[in-house]
Amino acid sequence: MFSKILIANRGEIACRVIRTAHRMGFETVAVYSDADVTAPHVRLAGEAVHIGPAAAQQSYLRIDGLLEAAARTGAQAVHPGYGFLSERADFAQACADAGLIFIGPPPSAIRAMGDKAQAKRLMLEAGVPCAAGYLGEDQADDVMTAQALRIGFPLLVKAVAGGGGRGMRLVYGPAELPAALDGARREAEAAFGDGRLMLERLVQAGRHIEVQILADAHGHVLHLGERDCSTQRRRQKLIEETHSPVVGEALREALGADAVAAARAVGYVGAGTVEFILGPDGRHLFLEMNTRLQVEHPVTECVTGLDLVEWQLRVAAGEALPMRQSDVRLEGHAIEVRLVTEDPYAPDAPWTPQTGVVVGWQPAPALAAAGGALRIDHALAEGLVIGPHYDGMVAKFIAHGRTRGDAVRVLVGALDAAPLFGPGHNARLLRDLLLHPAFTDGSLTTGTLDTWANGGHPLLQRPQPPDHLWRLAAALRAGPAPGLRPAGLAGFDLTLRCGDETRLMRAPIPGVTVLSREGLQVSASVDGVTVQVAAHATGREVWLAWQGHIFRFEEPSAAPADATRVDASQVRSPVAGTVGQVMVQPGDRVSPGQALVSVEAMKMQIWQHATTAGTVQSLAAAAGAPVAAGALLVQLEIDP
């Protein structure tokens, strides 16, 4: 029915779809924005079409531009990937109207599950258990307040058209409700063009369990086991695994049966995921259905041996599933971790997005380790710019082993061996989480990491370099090596700074000998022990990777500039992004801690607050405007 597929997406998912399509003999067309001219998915596809500026609203979210790209290249089918337009019923319908095959569910199924309130109504009719809540059309604040009091606290305010944690607020009591309603409504309107909200009773200490389903157009629906996605921050996932460490066979069967019932209730076709919250009492409740491929689909592929993208393509071409539920076998254990360009250790704003140029990337080769195998899905390349326009997830590390312990061991080794130099990222946190007792014993819940962040948990304290790294960095900085200090300079004092610490050392460094450098790999002898580390040197800096973290050692300038003082009168953007909400106007009085303006980057909303009392003199940026990191947002006149 089709021979050429346009992939309406970017990054690692575009690369992943292209590889399977090529293996099956399909031709492929990539699309790209101004920010992705040199991106790997563009080079991997057979053809590529430019679709607009970096901002997603002007490129990857432009339905007319994507349809025009399909027409220009003769593509007969469209794969939406995940994110962007993948769960937009109007996109699926526009493809059908243009004579294109949409590789996903029918528009009716997307529409039914895209409205979270309507989805819950359908699930209740189908006998799928749901949490108590309010799904009404009357959105007046007094009605919402009355319903919240009826449901009880804590509860969630959720965008009806929401997803990915956007338009969601956690409310612990009546006093918090007005601000939560206003904030969620604004965010939902900005993100989805739909400010409608629903209320849902919060299951405290819950686990996020989801079930992969696969359905064809001939009435066959299968479930492929559950995934545990409870390790989250800001309601967004970091680690996913199958099987769940807390789900037994009886619960697995019940979850699967309810997921199949949910899919049948909306006439689902293709690959999709039904999400549940599992309470401490062992009861599971329907959350939502993702009418697309999930980021974490590889763990299901590992334990089933199925290529889910392949079956998306086969189902879209009209094929029937050749297996029945009794044929599905789940072998071993698989875990996926998401490498995200964010700073988990920022003291005032954990998870702050990080941008920058990839100056070094060395993915570990696929491993056939004792009891496990490794897969890395990514679209990274040296020189690639990680900007604020798209999601900050840049790679996925997936390990499959005979046991959960096997998978953890392979992942920890992979995170150590695959350094990303450039923008900051969360590899060290992922490594530490995999080894933490709360992950080992399966006690992490959806709110654990946010609780840890608020409480200053040791796991979220910025790692400090061990002594031998200081010595190795000094030896590398002292040379000899291309781009570092010339070999003739020896017997001198060397000052290095890493974070808040500065050390003075005497070169040559006793006990440290650099043996060889090849690419990013350095072999060195440290106190008689040969070690292998990844390193990158540029200008006056040496970056070393150790246990997943990148330590940046800098030789301060001989004539350093005066330290920049924080000016409380100038509120600046913490990251490059887009101005979200502006809560003040010139002439407004502000008090310490008052929210002034938000900046959105990589699907996160970061608020800037006044640090002292004063008056707003001027606004330097308007809602929706792009801003650079450090750009002035609000100018204040500080009270005497």
Q: Any residues with CB less than 8 A from the CB of 43 and at least 6 apart, and which?
A: none
H or E stretch covering 476: helix 467-478
89, 86, 88, 45: which is closest to 69 by C-alpha? 45
CA 602, 605, 607 angle in degrees (round to 5)?
Answer: 140
Query: What was the pLDDT predicted at 619?
Result: 87
E strand segments, 292-341: 333-340
Distance between CA atoms of residues 63 and 535, nearest Å: 43
- 8 A C-beta contact, residue 276 and residue 123: no
Q: Which domains are assigned to the chain? A: 4-103 (3.40.50.20), 132-201 (3.30.1490.20), 208-331 (3.30.470.20), 333-462 (3.30.470.20), 467-554 (3.30.700.40), 570-638 (2.40.50.100)
For residue 307, how many C-alpha atoms fall within 13 Å in the half-sphere facing its CB?
Answer: 12
271: number of Cβ within 10 Å: 26
164: number of Cβ within 10 Å: 16
Positive or negative, the CA dihedral 338, 342, 346, 348 is negative
Coil, strand or helix at 456: coil
441: number of Cβ within 10 Å: 10
Query: What was the pLDDT predicted at 164?
Result: 64
| Spacing of C-alpha 246 from chain mean position | 24
Q: Any residues with CB less than 8 A from the CB of 220 and at least 6 apart, and which?
A: 320, 321, 324
Backbone torsions φ then ψ of 601, nearest 5 degrees: -150, 135
> For helices 249-265 and 116-125, what crossing angle results, to 10°?
110
Query: What was the pLDDT predicted at 365?
Result: 58
Q: Is 456 exposed, middle or buried (0-12, 13-18, 19+ CB in 10 A)?
A: exposed
| Spacing of C-alpha 160 from chain mean position | 21
Query: What was the pLDDT predicted at 190?
Result: 76
Coil, strand or helix at 347: coil
Q: Mean pLDDT of successive 10-residue segments in the chain (640 residues)?
A: 96 96 98 96 97 93 97 98 93 98 96 89 94 93 96 93 80 94 88 88 92 97 97 92 95 97 96 95 93 96 96 97 95 97 89 91 61 85 90 94 94 90 96 96 92 92 95 85 47 88 91 90 94 88 94 79 65 83 88 86 77 88 81 88
Query: What was the pLDDT predicted at 370?
Result: 42
Positive or negative, the CA dihedral 20, 22, 23, 25 is positive
- pTM confidence score: 0.88
Rg (alpha carbons) of the chain, rounded to whole number: 26
Q: Any residues with CB less than 8 A from the CB of 55 and at least 6 apart, and which?
A: 33, 389, 578, 626
Query: What was the pLDDT predicted at 603?
Result: 64
Query: What was the pLDDT predicted at 490?
Result: 52
